[in-house]
Amino acid sequence: MGRMPKARQAILDAARHIVRERGAGKLTYEELVQQSGVTRGGITYHFPTKEALLRALIESDIEQWCELEQQLKPKGVDAETAALIAFIRGHTERDEDHRRFVTGMLSAVTLDHSLLDPVREFTKRRREGVTWDNAQLRRHLLRMAAEGLFWSELFGCEELPADVRKRLVALMERLATEWTTDDDATDAA
């Protein structure tokens, strides 16, 4: 992928900052002009609508997520296990800026579910070719546990003591390593 034009990146950076600090509802062209230094015409050239800008923010967040997962992959395990552990680490890492960005986007995606289409497409691509054997079901269970912890903490539904949370995340990672093969005995259960 080529380099993104500077103005487009400046707009995305400013928009992300606004969403993170005040929410998607406060994202206006006037605010973007002030924050990005790009003219309104320049903004509408790259993003003709607020929806296009919000969708681009989500696509950019997915790209950043993929980069983070690459950094979080452990060495010394097979590729699928490494990807799963990186997924768990990504969802359980305490990145307050990212959490504030997600919180800032919630009202927008609640009002326009189509904004999540890039997330749906990304998830669909990740699952292409998956055979839903028992090993894959166990991996999916761990992914859902990591996502559940992320959303539970984001909404303030449950705050585990730090030592318990650390043990829980370590358990998920250990199970990711242990649950690497399909166990036919599980089929009988």
Q: How many C-beta atoms surround the C-beta of residue 62 within 10 A?
A: 15
Q: Are 64 and 13 in contact (CB under 8 A)?
A: no
Q: What is the CATH number of the domain that holds 7?
A: 1.10.10.60
Model confidence pLDDT, tens digit, residues 101-152: 999 999 999 999 999 999 999 999 999 999 999 999 999 999 999 999 999 9
Q: 100 and 140 share a domain? A: yes
| Rounded Cα distance, 145 and 134, in Å | 16
Quote the pTM value: 0.87
Q: Considering its fold, how many domains does the chain have in total?
A: 2
Q: 44 and 64 share a domain? A: no
Tell me whether residue 55 is in a domain: no
| CB-based burial label for 67 (10 Å; 0-12, 13-18, 19+) | exposed
Per-residue pLDDT of the chain (189 residues; tens, 9 = 90+): 444 579 999 999 999 999 999 999 999 999 999 999 999 999 999 999 999 999 999 999 999 999 999 999 999 999 999 999 999 999 999 899 999 999 999 999 999 999 999 999 999 999 999 999 999 999 999 999 999 999 999 999 988 999 999 999 999 999 999 987 655 445 444
Q: 130 and 154 share a domain? A: yes
Q: How many C-beta atoms surround the C-beta of residue 61 within 10 A?
A: 19
Tell me whether residue 54 is in a domain: no
Token pair of 24 as six digits: 């998607």
DSSP tag of 76 = S
Expressed as residue numbers, the domain containing 22 is: 1-48
How far from 53 is each of 8, 66, 109, 177, CA to CA, in Å? 10, 20, 13, 39
Q: 147 and 66 share a domain? A: yes
Q: How many C-beta atoms surround the C-beta of residue 116 within 10 A?
A: 17
Q: 142 and 67 share a domain? A: yes
Q: 70 and 8 share a domain? A: no
Q: 34 and 65 share a domain? A: no
Q: 90 and 158 share a domain? A: yes
| Rounded Cα distance, 112 and 127, in Å | 24
Tell me whether residue 53 is in a domain: no
Tell me whether residue 189 is in a domain: no
Tell me whether residue 150 is in a domain: yes
Q: 68 and 5 share a domain? A: no
Tell me whether residue 120 is in a domain: yes
| Rounded Cα distance, 136 and 147, in Å | 16
